Amino acid sequence: MKNLQRIMSLCDYTTTKEVRIISLPLRVLKIAITLAVLVYLCFSLYTEKGYQKKDTVISSVHTKVKGVLDVDNWIWDTSEYTIPYPGGNSFFVITNIVKTENQVQGLCPEFPNRKTICSRDDICKKAYADPQSNGIQTGRCIQFNRTLKTCEIRSWCPVEFKSTPEPAVLAGAENFTVLIKNNIHFAEFNYTTKNILPEYNVSCVYDRLKAPQCPIFRLGDILKEAGESFSQIAVLGGIMGIEINWNCNLDRWASKCRPRYSFRRLDDKVVDERLFPGFNFRFARYYKSADGKDLRTLIKASGIRFDIQVYGIATVLIDFLIGLYSQCCCDPKSSQKYYDDMKYEKVSGPCILQCCRMRFVSFVDQKDIIMVDKPLQKSLQNTTGTRIEREKIADYKDIEQHLKPDSNAALHRLEMEAFTAKDHEKEFSSCSWCQCSKCPKMDKFGDQLCCRSQAGDCITTSDMFLKLVLSMNRLIYILQYDDPFLTVDSVSNEKLRECAKKQYIEWRFGMDLNVVNFAVMPSCCKHEIEKIAKDHST
């Protein structure tokens, strides 16, 4: 059996017990601290979206550039000035060109630079091809123009020698427009959408204030939003970034998933010839002459590359734990309330904002004890306080069993005599705060206390008061319980008085020292105890 009990004890769960102090200042302080922590946590959760699940975007982009230019009687349409990029997230628009027409493979002087300028043949190396040259050297030094000689090369001749035009040939490209189609998907939440709204038609043009959701952009406006000048970048070219940011809240009550566009320059603004500034590339258009020779036109194209960068995060409220707990916490009859009441004991707390004396008052016509923890501006009888539940008192019949039979009879006789004497010596008080008509006049507010809250019989006339508080045999018996050699003649009035007061307080307030030490006895009860102490001395 003992072994079974030991095994079962392993299943016990122990927890600490907390005492809740019922005090308005302490409660306000606790609530203030709790609210401060709660506000900080809520702010952190709100800014970091810690209460939501997140997923990153999966995106696809498709672009269409529109616009036509007439430059030197040459019509430039979309197929002329746009170069598609693999992947679809970039497009290139030509803004400036350098043409070298009618090139044919043969021998010609190299374009002059530090490595190709020469004065005699031995400076040039036969079959040498510099990475920056236009062809392969033949080993001869020939005339490039009237003043310069360069190494002869085998290449497409004549070599490119024109400088980049300024202003740009296609400076009017800033009025071209581009339609950006962006489809996105959040796999975690199975959510798909696009940036083209049904209410936007083909005539809209993006404007940060008037039309922030329009998917059609003017190229000049893109550079303007990025703080750049289209006419300057168009000369040498550059790289611009179009950022599409999807920050989506997919909660049912606040569903919002629309893109935000922003623009910035991605390449270096500083022009450094050593680092090949701008953005350009070369391509050729081939054809045959009348005599069947292969000819080409070399085009050096400078322009602006637009990189479309899509970012996005979707968030959804984590409502599993909230939904799981809300039913329990909102039910007033839930089992949690039962265990909460068992775990926490509620007691009244003191006043901490001002220095005052703690007092506990018990009225015979009220069940609860009154706690007064504030300065007295009037009689204690009429001062309001906080009600607390009175502790259940032990059965005083246990003491009665220890008395001798003959002393019980004597006790009853003395009680009846005392009761009769009190009936004849009834004193009626004229105090406004007295409800039993037996309270003597008191000067101090703290002593102005009656045994009742409403008018009625005084507690000193009750049988229980006579037996527990005024019974001489009972009081002496209790004193002898602590001091077995104490005789009746040696009992002092002070001891008798203190014993009677202790009997009354334990009867009316219980055994809790936290209450007993601050209990206040009614003035009518004090008066009766003083009288019995005087009777003992006589």
Q: CA dist 470 to 35, 212, 519, 532, Å?
A: 54, 93, 19, 7
493-509 helix and 472-482 helix, angle to the nearest 10 degrees: 100
Report, as an integer, the average pLDDT of 310-329: 70
Domain hosting 285: range is: 56-92+167-316
Tell me the percentage of the chain whose pLDDT exceeds 90: 42
Residues 460, 340: one domain? no
Residues 374, 255: one domain? no
Residues 258, 334: one domain? no
Residue 234: the pLDDT is 94
Residues 373, 509: one domain? yes
Measure the CA–CA gap between 434 and 449, rounded to whole angstroms: 7
Residue-wise pLDDT tens digits, 91-123: 999 999 999 999 999 999 999 988 899 999 999
Residue 64: the pLDDT is 92
Banded pLDDT at 41 (limits 50, 70, 90): confident
Residues 372, 286: one domain? no
Quick check: helix, strand or coil at residue 80? helix
Residues 477, 335: one domain? no
120 part of a folded domain = no
Residue-wise pLDDT tens digits, 160-175: 988 889 999 999 999 9
Asked if pLDDT for residue 201 goes beyond 80, the answer is no
Peptide bond into 167 cis (omega under 30): yes
Residue 409: the pLDDT is 37
101 part of a folded domain = no
How far separated are the first and last CA of the chain, in Å rounded? 64
Residue 44: the pLDDT is 80
Report, as an integer, the average pLDDT of 249-278: 82
Whether the CA torsion 491, 494, 500, 506 is positive or negative: it is negative
135 part of a folded domain = no
341 part of a folded domain = yes
Residues 276, 399: one domain? no
Residues 336, 365: one domain? no
Asked if pLDDT for residue 391 goes beyond 90, the answer is no
- What is the DSSP code (8-state) at residue 263? E
Residue 418: the pLDDT is 47
Q: What's the total number of domains in the chain?
A: 3
CATH number at 187 reads 2.60.490.10
Report, as an integer, the average pLDDT of 194-223: 89
Residues 27, 80: one domain? no
Q: Long-range CB contacts (< 8 A, 24+ apart) of 353-361? A: 353/25, 357/446, 358/518, 359/385, 359/446, 359/518, 359/519, 359/520, 360/509, 360/515, 360/518, 360/519, 360/520, 361/385, 361/449, 361/520
Report, as an integer, the average pLDDT of 76-90: 83
Residues 393, 467: one domain? yes
2 part of a folded domain = no
Banded pLDDT at 21 (limits 50, 70, 90): confident
Residue 413: the pLDDT is 40
Measure the CA–CA gap between 476 and 473, rounded to whole angstroms: 5
Last residue of a domain, one of 258, 293, 316: 316
Asked if pLDDT for residue 235 goes beyond 90, the answer is yes
Residues 248, 197: one domain? yes
114 part of a folded domain = no
266 part of a folded domain = yes
Banded pLDDT at 340 (limits 50, 70, 90): confident
Last residue of a domain, one of 316, 340, 370: 316
Residue 403: the pLDDT is 41
Residue 486: the pLDDT is 84
Measure the CA–CA gap between 33 and 441, rounded to whole angstroms: 47
99 part of a folded domain = no
Residues 485, 396: one domain? yes
Report, as an integer, the average pLDDT of 345-353: 57
pTM over 0.85: no
pLDDT averaged over every residue in the chain: 83
**Token output for 1:** 């059996």
**278 versus 424: which is more confidently predicted?**
278
* E runs forming strands in 67-148: 69-71, 74-76, 82-84, 90-109, 136-143
**CB-based contact 370:519 (threshold 8 Å):** no
